Amino acid sequence: MIISMNKNATEAEIGAVLRKIKELGFEPHYDKGSEIPIIGIRGNTQKLEEGRFFLPGVEKVSRVSKIYKEVSREFQPWDSVIDINGVKVGGTCRPAIIAGPCAVESRDQLLRIAEAVKEAGADMLRGGAFKPRSSPYAFQGLKEQGLEYLAEARGTFGLPIVTEIKGVEAIELFEKYDIDVYQVGARNMQNFDLLEKLGHVKKPVLLKRGEAKSIDELLLSAEYIAASGNKRIILCERGIVPHKDSKTRYTFDVSAFCIVRELSHLPIIGDPSHASGHWKYVAPLSKAAIAAGAQGLMIEVHHEPENALCDGGQSLKPDKFRELMAEISLLIGR
């Protein structure tokens, strides 16, 4: 349920509504700093009568019409901005660039790439330590050792680290290495147990859209995390099921950026590396994503793509990544 206050509602009137919500056993959602005085009510409000809130200063009481609630723009009309050790994602902030290898392969590989992406202006470092691979015989990642190298790279280059969590059992390890952003991969978008557990962690979650999942399903998955208590969620469009004769690995759903921003206050970033599967298309698709409203990008970078243990073909070499960073600055004018 959403209570829209009159534009000139006084603090006392807002306070009375907040008290009423608590008296009735619910939790209000209200951002004091926001220009629009709108109060959301968390939890199942189906049996709550609108009339309970016809108080002084209240303009309108309405119900959220979307199937998701906390992540909807109706519930919170202003953009969420997620702060990751000073890197801001969302709203009108400069698009946040997450870059790094598909997988952490060795200490030397990670530190080399981290240095290169930092020097080119990336905001965060990515690298998979637990890799979801189609084949059980493919490189599965360095696991805990990979997290250790990521933490070392963060210490050396000062970039927050983003890495994929494949299952709930890894949460303890992620806490041990103080991972800055927990990435939920496309294959795990509907791992509801994992989503619920990530609702209780203290770190932001980067939730990738499943290749065959709708925008509503993506937002419902985000709702699982938000409803369990963690509101720091970044969504990621990484390509959806391609046409059978497609020339790309997936089809980059560029419309997802504007649609998600209309439906939700959560930030959304784009991953043109997995979407295209080819380094050649990463730069043009990056710019398309930003033009369509993406609030950040996740880009795979490797200093020796031809020897990469995973996704070399879609990884940019550091010099190409540097060029792309310059093109992005030109595009956004800052």
Q: What share of the chain is helix, strand, coil (3-state, %, to 5)?
A: 35, 20, 45
What residue 164 binds from ligand PEP, Mn ion, none (CB within 5 to 8 A, per partner kind)? ligand PEP
User: Does 220 participate in binding ligand PEP (rule CB under 6 A)?
Assistant: no
Residues from 42 through 101 that contact Mn ion (CB under 5 A) = none
Phi, psi of 42 (to 5 degrees): -80, 155
185 binds ligand PEP (CB under 6 A): yes
Residue 185 interaction partner, one of ligand PEP, Mn ion, none, beta carbon < 5-8 Å per kind: ligand PEP
Minimum distance from residue 104 beta carbon to ligand PEP (Å):
11
313 binding partner (options ligand PEP, Mn ion, none; Cβ < 5 to 8 Å by kind): none
Q: Does 238 bind ligand PEP (CB under 6 A)?
A: yes
Q: Using alpha carbons only, how large is the chain's radius of gyration in Å?
A: 21
C-beta nearest to Mn ion: residue: 102
Told to check if 311 binds Mn ion by CB under 5 A, we report: yes
Euclidean distance between CA atoms 197 and 220, whole angstroms: 15
- Local structure of 12: helix, strand or coil: helix
Q: How far is CA 79 from the centre of its chain?
A: 13
Q: Which is nearer to ligand PEP, 58 or 165 (CB)?
A: 165
Q: Is 237 in the site for ligand PEP (CB under 6 A)?
A: no
The distance of closest approach from Cβ of residue 163 to ligand PEP in the complex, given in angstroms and rounded to an integer, is: 9
Q: How far is CA 331 from CA 86, 87, 324, 327, in A?
A: 23, 20, 10, 6
Residue 237 contacts which entry, ligand PEP, Mn ion, none (Cβ below 5-8 A, type-dependent): none
Comparison of 102 and 254: residue with beta carbon closer to Mn ion: 102
CB 273 within 8 A of CB 311: yes
- Looking only at the bridges linking them, the beta strands covering 82-84 and 58-62 are unpaired
| Cross-strand partners of 62 | 2
d(CA 251, CA 132): 20
Does 102 bind Mn ion (CB under 5 A)? Our answer is: yes
Number of residue whose CB is nearest ligand PEP: 185
Q: Please, which residues have CB within 8 angstroms of residue 155's CB and are 6 or more apart in sequence? A: none
Tokens matching residue 296 = 């950040």
Contact (CB, 8 A) for 193 and 168: yes
Given 74, 164, 180, 253, the residue binding ligand PEP (CB under 6 A): 164
Please report whether residue 271 would count as binding Mn ion according to CB under 5 A.
no
User: How does DSSP assign 151-176, residue by residue?
Assistant: HHHHHHH---EEEE--SGGGHHHHHH
Q: Which two tokens stand for residue 243?
A: 């046409």
User: Is residue 211 at the binding interface for Mn ion, with CB under 5 A as the rule?
Assistant: no
- Say if residues 92 and 299 touch (Cβ distance below 8 Å): no
Binding residues among 297-316 for ligand PEP as defined by CB under 6 A:
none
**Minimum distance from CB of 39 to ligand PEP (Å)?**
36
Site string for ligand PEP, 258-277 (x = CB under 6 A): -------------x--x---
Tokens of 194: 């994992």
Structure letter (DSSP) for residue 128: B
Closer CB to ligand PEP, 121 or 132, in the complex? 132
- What x/- string results for residues 77 through 116 when contact with ligand PEP is judged by CB under 6 A? -------------------------x--------------
- Map the footprint of ligand PEP across residues 120-159, applying CB under 6 A: 128, 132
Nearer to ligand PEP, 14 or 297 (CB): 297
Residues in touch with Mn ion (CB under 5 A): 102, 311
